[in-house]
Structure 1
Amino acid sequence: MVFSSVLFLFRFLPIFMICYFLVPRNMKNLVLFLGSLVFYAWGEPVYIFLMLFSTISDFVWGRLIEDYRGKDCSRIFLLCSVVINLFILGFFKYADFLLQTVNTVFGTSIPLLGLPLPIGISFYTFQTMSYVIDVYRGDAKAQRNILQFGVYVTMFPQLIAGPILKYHQIEKYLQERRSDLDAISYGAKRFVTGLAKKVLLANNLGLLWTQISSLKNDQMSVLMAWIGIVAYAFQIYFDFSGYSDMAIGLGAILGFHFPENFNYPYIATSVTDFWHRWHISLSTWFKEYVYIPLGGNRKGLARQILNILIVWTLTGIWHGAGWNFLFWGLWFALFLILEKLFLGELLKNAPVVFGRVYTLTVVLISWVFFALEKPGEIPAYLQAMFGLNGVGLMNTQAMFLGNEYLVLLIIALVACLPVGSLLVHRLKSSKTGPAMALYRVGEKVIPAALLILSVAYIVDASYNPFLYFRF
């Protein structure tokens, strides 16, 4: 069940909200937990037991670690939790990839398991792991209420694609929370904004990318290739940030405060800056639970470089079982290391525009690794981007698609810049009558218009994927 569907918007969500706001406060966690199970079971009826097993398992390990704190067995309990979580994630996500690799390398014919990937397993596994690690470190107290812990793991607004929540970020909301009109109003507007990003921008940009990426190499000019990868860059941003907006909005309606997951990443002035702005909850997770425990930058430059390589190898394969994801992670590792060695200082002293062009170029090339998975597709597409396939700078098809999607690409460009938020802030803080009137009208009319347009598109369209569901 995806947020941008008729089923969710007009059946599940209204029924759930009515139940949630009608029950007494002490029953809201139960309604949220049961509603989240229904939400997940709608698409994954079998794998709901896997998620419940992870929930119960880490609840127990957390209790044991706290009850035996200071004793050697607490470390054993932590190790058991980590091993179980990584085994489950590894088995369902990478078993077939490893078997296929063995068959290719050794010429064997071991049958593949053919197991579908449980939706959201990468996200909720990282959440439960962070909880147990925090309890072991003493950064969080073990949860004694299995229902509250179950809500933390299974909460449907962010269950499928994050943001990845650390337990201490929402602990107080699990115990006591309130939903006032201001929070509900903010949450509804935030949800509608995310919905519009997803269905009005991401879906249509995805159609453009699909058209271009399906072309043969001898049909793709330089302009065509760059239009395609720019379209994909916009698609994945509006798809994922739109989902995060919807998750944050739903959380606010229910009385939670979720952390931001994106901060205008395409205005970044370095690759390091980009990863402070893109999928913030994931990069923070790897920093806190892998990079720093490995030593971070505290054990010399050589060790820091090794730690970056380890973290970005893991970040790459976290996104999927494929060589392209490994190359994608190593691509970013290369530039992060270069920035640590010397490039970072050069960028600080260079004009801002240089840093932004460099970063966008690195990121756009990275999306080629990320988007294309079949052997041979990546080098062929890179050849087209740099004019090495013999087609030339442009062709009639590139001009046609460029003209057809020009307005959409311009809207996408403006929407991924902080122009709108700056304008809203100025209007809101202005003391002049016209500006205040414009702000008051806009905050009511724009969300309503976006909702109407989004619903109309959802009812009419059939192309509605969420890219991060497969991770």
Structure 2
Amino acid sequence: MTPYGSFLFFIITAILLAPTVILGLNGKQFRTYNLFVTLIFLALIFSSNLRETYALIFFTIWQVLLIKGYIAYRKKANSGVVFCLAVILSLIPLLISKLSPYLFIQNLWGFLGISYLTFKGVQMIMETRDGLIKNQIPIVRLLYFILFFPTISSGPIDRYRRFEKDVNEDIPCERYKLFLYEGINNIFLGFLYKFIIGYSINHYIIVKLGLITHSAFQHHLFYMYAYSFYLFFDFAGYSAFAIGISYIMGVKTPENFNKPFISRNIKDFWNRWHMTLSFWFRDYVFMRFVYWIHKKKWIKNRQIISNSGYILLFLLMGFWHGLEIQYILYGIYHALLMVVYNSFEQVNKRRKWWPQNKFTHIVSVVITFHLICFGFYIFSGYFIHKGV
């Protein structure tokens, strides 16, 4: 069963979470029951594919051993070599899964949501290195965080310390009513985004582009804008479902989108689009790379360091999506946009070429919107399949 892929999923969700709602409205705790619900959903999601089930079990055991082992090690020592080894070992199942199709070998380790579960494991190892996670974590709590079913397939990506705070917190009945309201509101928003607007864009525009457009240029142009909006509403709808169900379960899973099409520049866009993923790459790739280069003093120019970090960041993000040419080009495209904007921003601070006022703000939003849509056009690979 695919999460959020059919109305049957929501019917089962409503039935299974009814006791959670009843307990919450009566001011009682529902942690133990929610663990039970998570196990049921994992069984429903993965029961149709035994290979994925075994891969998930192996992956979970692997990550738990690495995380608990590194926490125990970090109390005694802090070797950079051991830290890097722990991160690499945490990434290995994901790397094998991603590379298997291109190496023409059977993908035995991949399963639905492996990327997002890996991000959780890696961030816990990194935060342990930073001293933010100091004590051993009960194995049930660790498993609940890694396998939290509302976000298992495509995020949003939560952080352990934030998740732990929510799970540990007692929720009075009056406060749970607010959680329930936010949860239901997000679920209905998800239906609007994914099953009404997203479906309509795909069914009435994208599928019928051949009837709507009259030239190759017009065809690709219409597709670029239609696909951009479809991608947003489909993915934002999924995220709204995950956030809504999380709230009903007493967990305030972070937002993933914040009106990305009104971004005033490309940096602003990545602070609004798929925020939990972009913040993850920012915190655990970009910031660490910049700090490392500063520490080693290999490059002294801060702008060159930040531009190098952007190139690394978006190339990795492109390769993470896959080794197909459109994903690599998408990463290169956004790396180029970030480098150009970063350089422009530094010069503009000194020379004031682009003043801050309502007119320039509107122009910036319009320009950024078109740049973003062209990036999604690259990401779609439509120009490869249909030809330019």
Match of 1:301 in 2: 303
TM-score scaled to structure 1, two decimals? 0.70
The amino acid that maps onto 1:295 is V
Match of 1:354 in 2: 363
Would you say the 8 A contact 2:55–2:108 is kept in 1?
Answer: no
The amino acid that maps onto 1:366 is G
Map 1:318-397 → 2, pairs under 5 A: 318-342=320-344, 345=348, 346-347=353-354, 349=356, 351-372=360-381, 375=384, 377=386, 380-381=387-388
Distance of 2:37 and 2:75 partners within structure 1: 35
Distance of 1:264 and 1:75 partners within structure 2: 40
- Return the structure number with greater relative CO, CA threshold 8 A, min gap 6: 1
Question: SS of the residue aligned with 1:295?
Answer: helix
Using the TM superposition, name which of 30-39 and 323-332 deviates more.
30-39
Distance of 1:335 and 1:90 partners within structure 2: 27
The reply to whether residue 6 of structure 1 matches residue 1 of structure 2 is no
Distance of 1:371 and 1:286 partners within structure 2: 22
Match of 2:92 in 1: 87
Would you say the 8 A contact 1:120–1:160 is kept in 2?
Answer: yes
Pick aligned residue for 1:264 from 249, 259, 263? 259
Q: What do you get for the CA RMSD once the two structures are aligned?
A: 2.7
Distance of 2:105 and 2:335 partners within structure 1: 31
Distance of 2:44 and 2:126 partners within structure 1: 28
Match of 1:193 in 2: 189
Distance of 1:190 and 1:162 partners within structure 2: 15
The reply to whether residue 172 of structure 1 matches residue 165 of structure 2 is yes
Would you say the 8 A contact 2:310–2:335 is kept in 1?
Answer: yes
Would you say the 8 A contact 1:205–1:235 is kept in 2?
Answer: yes
Match of 2:297 in 1: none
Would you say the 8 A contact 2:228–2:376 is kept in 1?
Answer: yes
Would you say the 8 A contact 1:251–1:258 is kept in 2?
Answer: yes
The reply to whether residue 210 of structure 1 matches residue 210 of structure 2 is no
Q: 1:9 to 1:70 in 2, by over 3 A?
A: closer
Distance of 1:364 and 1:268 partners within structure 2: 12
Q: 1:244 to 1:76 in 2, by over 3 A?
A: same
Match of 1:113 in 2: 106
Distance of 2:371 and 2:273 partners within structure 1: 14
Distance of 2:56 and 2:382 partners within structure 1: 28
Distance of 2:152 and 2:354 partners within structure 1: 38
Match of 2:218 in 1: 223
The amino acid that maps onto 1:5 is S
Q: CA deviation at 1:57?
A: 2.6
| 1:240-294 per-position Cα deviation (integer Å, ceiling 9, x unaligned) | 1111111111111111111111110000111111111001111100111011111
Pick aligned residue for 1:40 from 34, 40, 45? 45
The reply to whether residue 253 of structure 1 matches residue 254 of structure 2 is no
Using the TM superposition, name which of 140-149 and 201-210 deviates more.
140-149
Identity over aligned residues, as a percent?
24
Question: SS of the residue aligned with 1:191?
Answer: helix
The reply to whether residue 234 of structure 1 matches residue 229 of structure 2 is yes
Match of 1:317 in 2: 319
Q: 1:170 to 1:303 in 2, by over 3 A?
A: same
| 1:19-48 per-position Cα deviation (integer Å, ceiling 9, x unaligned) | 545786452243143134224314544323
Q: CA deviation at 1:311?
A: 0.6
Distance of 1:348 and 1:311 partners within structure 2: 29
TM-score scaled to structure 2, two decimals? 0.84
Map 1:286-297 → 2, pairs under 5 A: 286-295=281-290
Distance of 1:182 and 1:46 partners within structure 2: 40
Distance of 1:193 and 1:146 partners within structure 2: 34
Using the TM superposition, name which of 248-257 and 1-10 deviates more.
1-10
Using the TM superposition, name which of 225-234 and 237-246 deviates more.
225-234
Q: 1:374 to 1:308 in 2, by over 3 A?
A: same
| 1:311-349 per-position Cα deviation (integer Å, ceiling 9, x unaligned) | 100011112231210110110111110111115735554
The amino acid that maps onto 1:134 is E
Distance of 2:274 and 2:368 partners within structure 1: 16
Q: 1:149 to 1:177 in 2, by over 3 A?
A: farther
The amino acid that maps onto 1:89 is L
Q: 1:342 to 1:51 in 2, by over 3 A?
A: same
Distance of 2:113 and 2:215 partners within structure 1: 35
